Amino acid sequence: MFYTIVGTQWGDEGKGKIVDWLSSKADLIVRYQGGNNAGHTIKVDNKVYKLNLLPSGIINNKKCAIGNGVVLDPWALINEIENLKKQGINVTNKNLFIADNICLILPIHKLLDEINENLRGQKELGTTKKGIGPAYEDKVGRRAIRICDLKNPKYLKQKLDNLSKFHSEKISKYIDKIPQNYYQELLSMAEYLDSFSVPLWKMINEFGENNKTIVFEGAQGSMLDIDFGTYPYVTSSNTISGQIYSGTGFSKKNNHKILGITKAYTTRVGSGPFPTELIDNIGEHLGEKGQEYGTVTKRKRRCGWFDSVLLKQSINLNGITDIVLTKLDVLDELKEIKICVGYFIDEKKYDYLPSEEFLFDKIKPIYKTIDGWQSSTAGINKINDLPINAKKYIKIIEELIETNISIVSTGPDRKETIDINGTLLNI
């Protein structure tokens, strides 16, 4: 059985929690895009783990892999492995496998990320400054350093020199000293990094052929997809489920569930359109109650009402089979709850988020209002224990999106999860 986990909104939907929950039954958990711009928080019995690059299955001591669709910052990886060790989680080449054709994020990419943002001035994207965009640019520009290049010092030196030469003209306009190319440091890490590296496309297809259970762990959210998100306010990778194939080399299409992880309201970090954003007390309340602060950059996340238009778009783009509704408990105190059911732009009705950047500012949401439940759902793990109005909220969303909500999450811990039909994990 294969599962793909995708964020349906603008990220931070609770993917890490759900991957951890699902991974108890998995044989392999694989990241297929993004990099250490992701921040996944997982809570198990009062212990909190924060992951950026490593798949969330690592907490369950499962075999994990990082696919070629990811851009890998070796310094960030080593740092994350060391931090996890302090929390009692050992990462070795028995439980971590990295695609040998993965492209690297180097210090120069972080510098370029910073420079590019400054150049945009008022129109900055609000990136995580982890070098994601510039690293993907070098990948498609066919100049990137890949992990397999580290095996050959002479070749590595030549490639690094070429890369520095390529970027130095731009960088020298903004800073006095061209940064070093980190050749020696990369060489010193080469053996360790190589110990994780495998032809992942081969390994993963063998797992598939042997009927193993694989979980593909997405990062970011569908509205941050480079093609289908709110361009240019997006990340630099394809975040939708189709990316699992080119991001890992996996090729099996059968027995696949695609789970769309969806917050019971909406959040966004960084710049860009957000039709249902609440710049009022309710928005503040959602942020406080939901602890909506970025894991990576510690920025306050923008908060707003649930948007069924956006979710329907994501369901279409990803081929989502089941929705996982997270953070329902955050809505507990609200007297009234609004759900966006359509948009008006210049008096014209829309049932989708248009691509045109010049229309973004004009989007006016159309709301349906329902009564809140004003009682605690925190930690509830049986559907029948939910208050009637919470069940109604779930039902209304299901009707609007024409897709089943199979799991509801009522708290950050693994145990605070409702598997509605109890069938999702019957592997």
Interactions with ligand IMO, residue window 9-38 (CB under 6 A)? 10-12, 37-38
| Catalytic residue from among 12, 20, 113, 138 | 12
Pattern 10-49, Mg ion, x by CB under 5 A = --x--------------------------x----------
23 is in the binding site of which of ligand GDP, ligand IMO, Mg ion, none (Cβ under 5 to 8 A by kind)?
none
Stretch that binds ligand GDP, among 88-96, 108-116, 159-167, 407-415 (CB under 6 A): 407-415
- Pick the closer one to ligand IMO by CB: 128 or 164: 128
* Closer residue to ligand IMO in complex, CB, 233/306: 233
Q: Does 7 bind ligand GDP (CB under 6 A)?
A: yes
* 219 binding ligand IMO? (CB under 6 A): yes
Phi, psi (deg, nearest 5) at residue 257: -105, 135
Q: Could you say which of Mg ion, ligand IMO, ligand GDP, none residue 327 binds, taking C-beta under 5 to 8 angstroms by partner kind?
A: ligand GDP
Any contact of residue 220 with ligand IMO (CB under 6 A)?
yes
43 or 109, CB closer to ligand GDP?
43
Q: Which stretch binds ligand IMO (CB under 6 A): 7-15, 25-33, 74-82, 352-360?
A: 7-15
Q: Is 12 a catalytic residue?
A: yes
CB 199 to ligand GDP: min, Å:
28
Confirm or reject binding of residue 199 to ligand IMO (CB under 6 A).
no
Which of ligand IMO, ligand GDP, Mg ion, none does 125 bind, CB closer than 5 to 8 A by kind?
Answer: ligand IMO
Ramachandran quadrant class, 270 (left: phi over 0; alpha: psi -120 to 50; beta: rest): left
Residues in the chain: 427
Per rule CB under 6 A, is residue 128 in the interface with ligand IMO? yes
State which residue, 235 or 314, has the beta carbon closest to ligand IMO. 235
Q: Would you say 113 and 132 are in contact if contact means Cβ atoms under 8 Å apart?
A: yes
Please report, as residue ranges, which positions from 226 to 285 form the binding site for ligand IMO (by CB under 6 A).
235-236, 269-270
Q: What is the 3-state secondary structure (H, E, C) of the chain?
A: CEEEEEECCCCCCCHHHHHHHHHHHCCEEEECCECCCCCEEEEECCEEEEECCCCHHHHHCCCEEECCCEEECHHHHHHHHHHHHHCCCCCCCCCEEEECCCEECCHHHHHHHHHHHHHHHHHCCCCCCCCHHHHHHHHHCCCCCEHHHHHCHHHHHHHHHHHHHHHHHHHHHHCCCCCCCCHHHHHHHHHHHHCCEECHHHHHHHHHHCCCCEEEECCCCHHHCCCCCCCCCCCCCCCCCCHHHHCCCCCCCCCEEEEEEEECCEEECCCCCCCCECCCHHHHHHHHHCCCECCCCCCECEEECEEHHHHHHHHHHHCCCEEEEECHHHHCCCCEEEEEEEEEECCEEECCCCCCHHHHHHCEEEEEEEECCCCCCCCCCCHHHCCHHHHHHHHHHHHHHCCCEEEEECCCECCCEEECCCCCCCC
Strand-strand pairing, 103-104 and 71-72: parallel
Among 29, 84, 125, 156, binds ligand IMO (CB under 6 A): 125
When asked if residue 275 is in the footprint of ligand GDP (CB under 6 A), the reply is: no
Figure out which of the listed residues 308, 329, 339, 340 binds ligand GDP, where binding follows CB under 6 A. Answer: 329
| The entry of Mg ion, ligand IMO, ligand GDP, none that residue 14 binds, CB within 5 to 8 Å by partner kind | ligand GDP
Q: How far is the CB of 63 from ligand IMO (least distance, A)?
A: 21
Considering CB under 6 A, how many residues would be counted as binding ligand GDP?
21
Which listed range, 39-47, 160-168, 175-183, 248-256, lies at the site for ligand GDP (CB under 6 A)? Answer: 39-47
Spell out a b/e string for 357-381, using b for 16 or more CB atoms within 10 Å of the CB, else e.
eebbeebebeeeeeebbeeebeebe
List the catalytic residue out of 40, 138, 167, 322.
40
Under the rule (CB under 6 A), what is the footprint of ligand GDP?
Answer: 7, 11-17, 39-41, 43, 295, 326-327, 329-330, 409-412
Active-site amino acid positions = 12, 40
Under the rule (CB under 6 A), what is the footprint of ligand IMO?
Answer: 7, 10-12, 37-40, 125-128, 130, 132-133, 219-221, 224, 235-236, 269-270
